[in-house]
Amino acid sequence: MPPSTLSLLGLVRHMCEVERTWFRKVINGEDITLVWSPDNDYQVAYDASQSTRSQAFAAWQAEVERSRQIEARAQSLDTVVHAERWDEDVSLRLVMLHVLLEYARHNGHADFLREGIDGVTGA
């Protein structure tokens, strides 16, 4: 595997931004910046040197909890909002599916990182 700055902590920080963006900014329409970048630079989250493990996990857990609250208050999974960043309408169902796929994709990245450390494959 080629060298990379990708880290497990960077993935946690990134997923914090994913939760925040899709549920708070898109579904809830909140006018907020990203957790790790006031300039809304999504790449900043990957720089794990900018926070401790405790800070990253606390921020991620807070965003997950907020996402769950937003979903619980929604009228239905068919609730549709306009996502300005992509200039298209999206349903809460689509957002939940997208976020689920983000977790799956990044769990795969985490597994590659683990494999690079312990060398175990097919476990």
pLDDT digits (tens, 9 = 90+) for 65-101: 999 999 999 999 999 999 988 899 999 999 999 999 9
Residue 123 lies in a domain: no
84, part of any domain? yes
CATH code, 23: 1.20.120.450
Please give the tally of structural domains in the chain: 1
pLDDT at 116 over 60: yes
Whether 3 maps to a domain, the answer reads no
pLDDT-based confidence at residue 106 (cuts at 50, 70, 90):
confident
Contacts of 16 (CB under 8 A, 6+ apart): 35, 36, 45, 56, 59, 60, 63
Residue 122 buriedness (CB in 10 A; 0-12 / 13-18 / 19+): exposed
What single letter denotes the amino acid at residue 122?
G
Residue 67, CB half-sphere, CA atoms under 13 Å: how many?
22
Q: Nearest to residue 4, comparing CAs of 54, 47, 56, 51?
A: 47
Which pLDDT value is given to residue 7?
Answer: 83
Task: Provide DSSP, 59-84.
Answer: HHHHHHHHHHHHHHHSS-TT-EEEET
Cα dihedral value 31, 35, 39, 41, nearest 10? -120
**Domain annotation covers residue 39:** yes
Provide CB contacts within 8 A for 29, sequence distance 6+. 81
Q: Compare 108 and 97 and report the one with higher pLDDT.
A: 97
Task: Please indicate, yes or no, if residue 90 is contained in any of the structural domains.
Answer: yes
The answer as to whether 2 is a domain residue is: no
What would the pLDDT profile of 22-48 be if each residue is shown by its tens digit? 999 999 999 999 999 999 999 999 898
Taking residues 92-121, report their average pLDDT: 85
Tell me the residue range of the domain where 72 lies. 8-118
Q: Is residue 100 part of a domain?
A: yes
**Is 1 domain-assigned?**
no
